[in-house]
Chains A and B, each alone.
Chain A
Amino acid sequence: MSAAPTTEVKPAPPAIEKIKVKVDGREVEVPKLTPDWQGKFAPTTMLQACDIAKKDVPHYCYHPKLPVAGNCRMCLVEFGTPALGPDRKPVMNPDGTPKIAKSPRPAIGCATPISPGMEIYTSTPGVKQMREGVLESLLINHPLDCPICDQAGECKLQEYSVDYGQSASRFVEAKVHKPKAVDLGPRIMLDAERCILCTRCIRFTKDVAGDDALGIVNRGSYNTIATFPGLPFDNNYTLNTVDICPVGALTSKDFRFQMRVWFLKETKSVCTSCATGCNVLISSREEKIYRYTPRDNDAVNGPWMCDAGRLNFKWIHRADRLKDVLVRGQKSSWTAALSEIADKLKQAPAGSVAIVASARQTNEELWLISKLKTKLGALSDSVERTGDADKLLVSADKNPNTNGARLTGICFSEMGINLPKIAAGIAKGAIKTLIVFGEDVTKHGISTELLGKLDTLIVSDILPNATTSAAHYVLPGCAHAEKRGSFTNTKGRVQKFLQAVQPQGEARAEWDFLHDLVYNVTGKNGFLTIEGLFNEMAKDVPAFNGLTWAGLGDTGVTVKI
């Protein structure tokens, strides 16, 4: 991306008045206003107050990042407000406490604002009975097919049924059967019988994704989520509806019937498909990745991610992954290859080496490469990757770490301007050694013929391509899901990701073998762990000064870019 980098600066939130309410007899102080789904301040609701008081209020239709609909009634609670006398003054109990007038009717917690002195009751027999009633009615026409339902294990209907459900159904009438396995769109399958009609999917699609494609058709017990017949549900955010659907009605065609969720190991990571760097959870089992789901981070992606990024992990398991260290086409070992390479680099005259790194590599790796670059006086650059942006999350920059490449000095603000110089240098014979990381340079102006002129071509990559076939040394690297590291996103947020699965074959994390190589070439030692390496880098790169691996936390830190 050649656009000028911008760091996101958030204004400090305004001071919000606090008010006191009681939740189940315990007094809590809650802000009078709370950010609503769009981040605008709106009166705090009873449900939010209960949340602050750490009292769970079961709910289906409420979602903090969607407009409030108030249709499921699962969040009904009882409440009371300070009683006022005829003089509009609070009435006091004999012991001096304000008398509370209990509301004769319950109210939905998700849409009822709190008021000073309010008392909310979430665990009375009445509230329990209401929850039981709501659940019973939701289950009337439900097919109870949990054993074959993908949502089982992370289903709100199951969870609340454990808390408030009945073990036997009292329903003796015939169930209404609704369509099952409805093909809503290329990535989404609907089971209308499991739907509880909370409208989360409709609201997300209309109000967040901006594609008014879903609606409820038919009437009464025949109500069904649908698109207009013949119009597929197909925007780049459809899979988020699978995440927010509280039940197993909306399922991902990709994940459907693939794995029971309780077997999955979840690893905190980030998406690498564009410079936004949406936070994700990688779900894997026995070294196989089954799905990506978005991980909440209000500084980056909120609770959402795009479909393209979410499904872009299949290549990690491709059978043709590079798995062996190759020296001139022959299988070799890391020790042998790295010491040969180090010897060659140490002898290389200044200016005879060039480096093409990838903006898909991590900050730590790029920094290590920049150490090599300085030592060797090498020309370096990386490859720009652009595509379409949208209004919600997707960035036009398809490299996850463009800013990392800039900040570590691998490339200039305008990425790729050194590539023609490198090509010219090779053509002239001035550049004899080329080191390439994760890019097929034959597609970026350094043709196979040019590569043939080199004395030494050192390539590290994940999948085979024309550059790896031409290489004298092939060093098999890792997908980000197979290693740890950090990226700097388009707004300057430094975010770390953890390792979900093991590298394939002989492959090693790039930072890990780069460390050995840099040590061999420059003689500098240090950092054998990613933590140590990151902290070392943070001291060295001005933009990262003051950062620590631990300090990045789960959601990252924004730096000035």
Chain B
Amino acid sequence: MSFTVPANLEAEIDELITHYPVKRSASLMLLHALQEHFGHISPEATQWVAKKLGLQPINVHELVTFYPMFRQTAPGKHQIKVCRTLSCALGGSHKLHEHFCTKLGLDPHAHGLQTTKDGKFSVEFVECLAGCGMAPVMMCNEDFHEGVSNAKADEIIGGCR
């Protein structure tokens, strides 16, 4: 499979590596850089990082699967992140998550990130988004929403269409 990293990105990555006393420590930064560019971390990207840092692919794969923020497949165009940490959990975030899932035809009980078939929406739980006073709190891509009722949720989905 052909996986090519553009020259300017590779230059950026090579520079990133110099920030760390041990090459391996740059793993996360490299993954972020690649995800920012490609939208997700493919197995080829993982192998590329491993090779770059002189590691085995499994060493990098462990990180990619550990952090939910790394996507192993392309996520939806609109990424809905519902906070489930304490305040939001008490404030009804599970209901909100369920609402999104039912609305978008996803399984509210499945673990991890789910994407609609048309690739438009992804829904997932995340941990505290630092808006605890206004639970339940969520993000849609880079936009932050507080005190999200079901009606507001529908509005957010509507705004994305």
Interface residues of A (CB under 8 A from B): 212-219, 222, 226-231
**Interface status of B74 (Cβ within 8 A of chain A):** no
Residue pair B43, A230 in contact (C-beta under 8 Å):
yes
A residues in contact with B133, CB < 8 Å: none
Residue pair A231, B65 in contact (C-beta under 8 Å):
no
Complex: A216 Cα to B43 Cα, angstroms: 16
Please give 17 more A-B residue pairs, beta carbons under 8 A apart, in addition to A217-B61, A231-B57. Answer: A212-B56, A213-B58, A215-B58, A216-B62, A217-B65, A218-B65, A219-B66, A219-B68, A226-B58, A226-B61, A227-B58, A228-B43, A228-B47, A228-B57, A228-B58, A229-B43, A231-B58
What 1/0 flags go to B38-82 for Cβ under 8 Å of A?
000001001100000000111101100111100000000000000
B residues in contact with A217, CB < 8 Å: 61-62, 65-66
B residues in contact with A226, CB < 8 Å: 58, 61
Interface residues of A: mostly helix, strand, loop or mixed?
loop
Considering only CB atoms, which chain A residue lies closest to B68 in the complex?
A: A219
Considering only CB atoms, which chain B residue lies closest to A206 in the complex?
A: B56
Considering only CB atoms, which chain B residue lies closest to A222 in the complex?
A: B111
Range of interface residues on B (Cβ < 8 Å)? 10 to 19
Complex: A229 Cα to B59 Cα, angstroms: 12
Complex: A213 Cα to B57 Cα, angstroms: 8
Nearest first, the 5 closest Cβ-Cβ pairs linking A and B are A228-B57, A217-B65, A215-B58, A228-B58, A212-B56
Considering only CB atoms, which chain A residue lies closest to B65 in the complex?
A: A217
Shortest beta-carbon distance from A214 to chain B in Å: 7
Residue pair A228, B46 in contact (C-beta under 8 Å):
yes
Residue pair B61, A215 in contact (C-beta under 8 Å):
yes
A residues in contact with B68, CB < 8 Å: 219
A residues in contact with B62, CB < 8 Å: 215-217
Considering only CB atoms, which chain A residue lies closest to B55 in the complex?
A: A212
- Give the most central of B43, B47, B56, B68: most A CB within 10 Å: B56
Complex: A168 Cα to B115 Cα, angstroms: 39
Complex: A156 Cα to B56 Cα, angstroms: 31
Complex: A222 Cα to B56 Cα, angstroms: 22
Shortest beta-carbon distance from B33 to chain A in Å: 20
Considering only CB atoms, which chain A residue lies closest to B56 in the complex?
A: A212
Complex: A222 Cα to B111 Cα, angstroms: 10
Residue pair A213, B56 in contact (C-beta under 8 Å):
yes
A residues in contact with B58, CB < 8 Å: 212-215, 226-228, 231
Shortest beta-carbon distance from A215 to chain B in Å: 4
A residues in contact with B56, CB < 8 Å: 212-213, 228
Q: Can you list 25 A-B contacts with CB-CB less than 8 angstroms, sorted by A residue number?
A: A212-B58, A212-B59, A213-B56, A214-B58, A215-B59, A215-B61, A215-B62, A216-B62, A217-B61, A217-B66, A218-B65, A219-B66, A222-B111, A227-B58, A228-B43, A228-B47, A228-B56, A228-B57, A228-B58, A228-B61, A229-B43, A229-B61, A230-B43, A231-B57, A231-B58
